[in-house]
Structure 1
Amino acid sequence: MEIKERGKGLIKEFKDFAMKGNVIDLAIGVIIGGAFNKIVSSLVSNIIMPIIGAIIGGVDFKDLSYTLREIPGKDPAVLEYGQFIQNVVDFLIITLSLFIFIKFLSKLNRKRENEKLAQQETKAKEPTKEELLLTEIRDTLKEISNKNT
């Protein structure tokens, strides 16, 4: 019985952990990031790199490589630096895109915070119900005092 209870407790604990907002947000971020990576890789390999290749003389970066040494009967040792260049361009585009996205989100958050501060300042300037009531009582007492004198 004790093992069964521990198992139930472990399953409940895992369920609570997995259903927390941060874990779900992270999972969604990873999935979107994977899809975004495919889009950027396609952009780089199918659009950007062919344009760059055409500009520098029709070079296809995927084919750029250097054979270090050929050994009879074995696969040669090849440095595929063209693929490396393409991966670096992928990385730079993804990094730039994330930078712009985060900068945009920061700007939106800053704007929201400024709006909240402005609302708080406006509310702070407006008298509360108690202050209005006390002001009315004070003014009434002044009127009564002025009539008696």
Structure 2
Amino acid sequence: MSFVSEFKEFISKGNVLDLAVGVIIGGTFGNIVKSLTDDVLMPLLSILTGGLDFKDWFLALDGTSYKTLEEAKKVGAATVNYGLFLNAIIVFLLMAFAIFWLVKIANRFKRPQQVVVADPGPTKEQQLLMDIRDALRSRPEAGAPDQGVGSVGR
């Protein structure tokens, strides 16, 4: 099989296409959650923190005090942007929570799959034991001296 035909077979399989659709939808969904965080939740949280925006929570490493991160960036000051990091954590938690609920809702609409378990039949050892059992049952019992395994010598 040539490289091109192998690649065509690989790319045409359903799971590759499903993955591509999932990545595209996931990226778009990420934009929605980011907008929810940046445009709805962060302004509400800034009210609780006295009007301070998380974006402006930073530490300037040059020791100078700047009012905004933008101001520090203009002068080229090195900064530790823990507010942006906190924002990223909140976006992650919101996205994980939203995906959890989407999966939970989607699972309600799934039909339960019927699992059909085929009887594998007896193993070789089980079949041998059943044959021995059947052979022992068919032995004549009345009047015949017991000469089988486990008989005591007479």
| TM-score, length basis structure 2 | 0.62
Aligned to 2:86: 85
Shift of 1:76: 3.0
Aligned to 1:60: 53
* Partners of 2:83 and 2:89 in 1: CA distance: 10
* Partners of 1:55 and 1:101 in 2: CA distance: 29
- Tell me how large the CA RMSD over aligned residues is: 2.4
* Partners of 1:92 and 1:53 in 2: CA distance: 18
Alignment of structure 1 residues 31-110 onto 2, 5 Å:
31-69=24-62, 75-109=76-110
Q: Secondary structure at the match of 1:58?
A: coil
* Unaligned stretches of 5+ residues in structure 2: 64-74, 116-154
* Partners of 1:99 and 1:51 in 2: CA distance: 24
Q: Secondary structure at the match of 2:61?
A: strand
Aligned to 1:140: none
* Partners of 1:104 and 1:66 in 2: CA distance: 42
Structure 1 ranges of 4+ moved more than 3 A: none
Q: Which amino acid counterpart does residue 68 of structure 1 have in structure 2?
A: L
Identity of aligned residues (%): 38
Shift of 1:21: 0.5
* Partners of 2:54 and 2:80 in 1: CA distance: 13
* Partners of 1:29 and 1:45 in 2: CA distance: 24
Deviations 1:8-38 (A, max 9, x none): x111110110011000000000001111111
Shift of 1:108: 2.5
* Unaligned stretches of 5+ residues in structure 1: 1-5, 118-149
Higher-Rg member (1/2)? 2
* Partners of 1:30 and 1:88 in 2: CA distance: 21
Asked if 1:12 corresponds to 2:5, the answer is yes
Greater relative contact order structure (CA < 8 Å, 6+ sep): 2
Q: Which amino acid counterpart does residue 34 of structure 2 have in structure 1?
A: S
| TM-score, length basis structure 1 | 0.63
Q: Which amino acid counterpart does residue 25 of structure 1 have in structure 2?
A: D
Aligned to 1:121: none
Deviations 1:110-143 (A, max 9, x none): xx218x69xxxxxxxxxxxxxxxxxxxxxxxxxx
Q: Which amino acid counterpart does residue 45 of structure 1 have in structure 2?
A: D
